[in-house]
Copies of this chain bind each other. A is one copy, B any other.
Amino acid sequence: MAKEKLVKEITSMEEDFAKWYTDVCIKAELIDYASVKGCMIIRPYGYAIWENIQSEMDSRFKATGHENVYMPLFIPESLLQKEKDHVEGFAPEVAWVTHGGEEKLEERMCVRPTSETLFCDHFKNIVHSYRDLPKLYNQWCNVVRWEKTTRPFLRSREFLWQEGHTLHSTAEEAKAETIQMLNVYAEFAENVLAIPVVKGIKTEKERFAGAEATYTIEALMHDGKALQSGTSHYFGDGFAKAFDIQFTDKNNQMVNPFQTSWGTTTRLIGAVIMTHGDDNGLVLPPAVAPIQAVIVPIASHKEGVLEKSREVCEQLKKVCRVKLDESEQSPGWKFAEYEMKGVPLRVEIGPRDIENNVCVVVRRDNGEKTVVSLDELETKIPELLKAVHDGLYNKALERRNVMTYDAHSLDEMKEIADNKPGFIRAMWCGDRECEDKLKEITGVTSRCIPFEQEEIEATCVCCGKKAKHMLYWGKAY
């Protein structure tokens, strides 16, 4: 049956990637725009993806000993100001509450842009002895950053996220936690979202406000732009000192504990869209797809077709998230609809299939069709879902490899930045001056110093001095 594009046409990626992206967000019914500019409504299909992300991630946090808590939405101005670098980083972009009911507040409060200050204030109350440590906390909540330019999922004034906050008696333990959670994020990105990521540390210039070290996972989108997809921060004892958090150690000395925080956001949905999507719409990795397989009956008015489809649906409920579409729309309309929504597998069942005791399973990621015996469906569908995941991951990895370029000189770096979207790898002396200059000349920003180093050259592409690190660069969302 010819695929009918009856309803939803979207701009092609080639024509206008940004327009393609928002078209997918709207037409796959992930979001709607809200009456407050820069905020978004996450619709049921979009929210179901977030619920799957939450559930997969939350179980990883709990498996590593973390507990969920809930801190207040508001931060009094005086509390936000306690850590100098932190307030400088966030104050320009917070929303301020000045009135409660009819009354003007004595002290204005901001809507949390992140909750380090609130956690510190609480830690000060509850941590007294080394026996109280570590505190391994996480929070699922909404945060607000009053951004000037916004895009659904990628940068919105309110977004949903998780923020981990931990407190440790030693610097070593806190550092190990920071790395552990980065690894959790990377494993999650690859095994759940099918997105390959580069793990590394941010340069000092790109660090989180108040952190001693910021680690990141960086993914490459379809258009060659980088997306920072999760960060993990080591704070040393800076916040603890600013907030006067102390505990009695084993030697009965009063000392400051060491701290971390780490976060991922609804931006991950943007990463999924821009890594796997195509000109027919969304393509979802099976682990987070609200519907993993959709059953489309063919010639459903013919005797036995609906009955058999329902039977297959009941059977498949045991092994995946399945939906049977019994609506009156044509099969062609349904094909287009579920392609738009990125459902990993389509199961077609028609009169002739039933005669032969088979159905046709079509993969969303590559269009591959498999005729499957109805007796083998319960084992075949999970296998095919696994194949879709692997297919998506490998395709994304291959694209990233093709779109990653080594620059051996400043000229070459500029030439790549101007003409080839993607990651640029280049050697760097470690000086802020060269980082600034490279950004100015090439228009790309430093993404991270990857854990996996490689010596492309012996010297910095910018100043020619001895190189300290290989650095990833790119245009970023």
Interface residues, chain A, with chain B CB atoms under 8 Å away: 32, 34-36, 39-44, 47-48, 50-51, 67-76, 79, 92-102, 109, 111, 118, 121-122, 125-126, 137, 141-142, 144, 146, 157-158, 160
Docked pose: A111 CA to B109 CA in angstroms: 12
Q: How far is the CB of A453 from chain B (nearest CB, A)?
A: 39
B100 touches A35 (CB 8 A): no
Chain B residues lying within 8 Å of A95, measured Cβ to Cβ, are 74, 97, 99-101
Question: Which listed residue (B35, B36, B51, B125) contacts A68, Cβ 8 A?
Answer: B51
A72 touches B40 (CB 8 A): yes
**Copies of this protein, total:** 2
Question: Which listed residue (B35, B75, B101) contacts A79, Cβ 8 A?
Answer: B35
A122 touches B36 (CB 8 A): no
Nearest CB to that of A58 among chain B residues?
Answer: B51
Docked pose: A60 CA to B34 CA in angstroms: 28
Docked pose: A100 CA to B37 CA in angstroms: 12
Chain B residues lying within 8 Å of A72, measured Cβ to Cβ, are 34-36, 39-41, 158
A41 touches B68 (CB 8 A): no
Nearest CB to that of A74 among chain B residues?
Answer: B36
Chain B residues lying within 8 Å of A137, measured Cβ to Cβ, are 44
With A35-B79, A118-B34, A158-B74: A98-B96 Cβ-Cβ less than 8 Å: yes
7 cross-chain CB contacts under 8 A: A35-B118, A41-B70, A41-B72, A43-B69, A47-B68, A48-B68, A50-B70
Docked pose: A72 CA to B94 CA in angstroms: 16
Question: Which listed residue (B34, B69, B73, B102) contacts A44, Cβ 8 A?
Answer: B69
Docked pose: A68 CA to B39 CA in angstroms: 18
B101 touches A92 (CB 8 A): yes
B98 touches A70 (CB 8 A): no
With A93-B101, A97-B95: A70-B160 Cβ-Cβ less than 8 Å: yes
Q: How far is the CB of A191 from chain B (nearest CB, A)?
A: 24
With A100-B146, A122-B32: A111-B73 Cβ-Cβ less than 8 Å: yes
| A43, A69, A72, A141, most chain B CB atoms within 10 A | A72
With A48-B67, A68-B48, A69-B41: A36-B109 Cβ-Cβ less than 8 Å: yes
A70 touches B47 (CB 8 A): yes
Chain B residues lying within 8 Å of A48, measured Cβ to Cβ, are 67-68
Docked pose: A67 CA to B291 CA in angstroms: 13
Given pairs A92-B102, A97-B98, A100-B146, 14 additional interface contacts (CB within 8 A): A34-B71, A34-B72, A36-B75, A36-B76, A41-B69, A41-B71, A42-B69, A43-B69, A47-B67, A47-B68, A48-B68, A72-B158, A96-B99, A97-B97
Docked pose: A101 CA to B309 CA in angstroms: 55
Nearest CB to that of A34 among chain B residues?
Answer: B72
| A32, A36, A99, A126, most chain B CB atoms within 10 A | A36
Docked pose: A74 CA to B34 CA in angstroms: 10
Chain B residues lying within 8 Å of A32, measured Cβ to Cβ, are 122, 125-126
Q: What 8 pairs across the A-B complex have the smallest Cβ distances?
A: A44-B67, A100-B146, A39-B72, A42-B70, A96-B99, A34-B72, A101-B146, A98-B98
Docked pose: A99 CA to B96 CA in angstroms: 5
Q: How far is the CB of A242 from chain B (nearest CB, A)?
A: 14
Q: How far is the CB of A8 from chain B (nearest CB, A)?
A: 14
Docked pose: A79 CA to B122 CA in angstroms: 36
Chain B residues lying within 8 Å of A35, measured Cβ to Cβ, are 72, 75-76, 79, 118, 121
B71 touches A44 (CB 8 A): no
Docked pose: A47 CA to B71 CA in angstroms: 10
Docked pose: A157 CA to B75 CA in angstroms: 13
Docked pose: A6 CA to B146 CA in angstroms: 50
Docked pose: A317 CA to B477 CA in angstroms: 45
Chain B residues lying within 8 Å of A102, measured Cβ to Cβ, are 92
Chain B residues lying within 8 Å of A158, measured Cβ to Cβ, are 72-74
| A68, A93, A97, A125, most chain B CB atoms within 10 A | A97
Docked pose: A217 CA to B203 CA in angstroms: 56
Docked pose: A121 CA to B72 CA in angstroms: 27
Q: How far is the CB of A163 from chain B (nearest CB, A)?
A: 14
B141 touches A142 (CB 8 A): yes
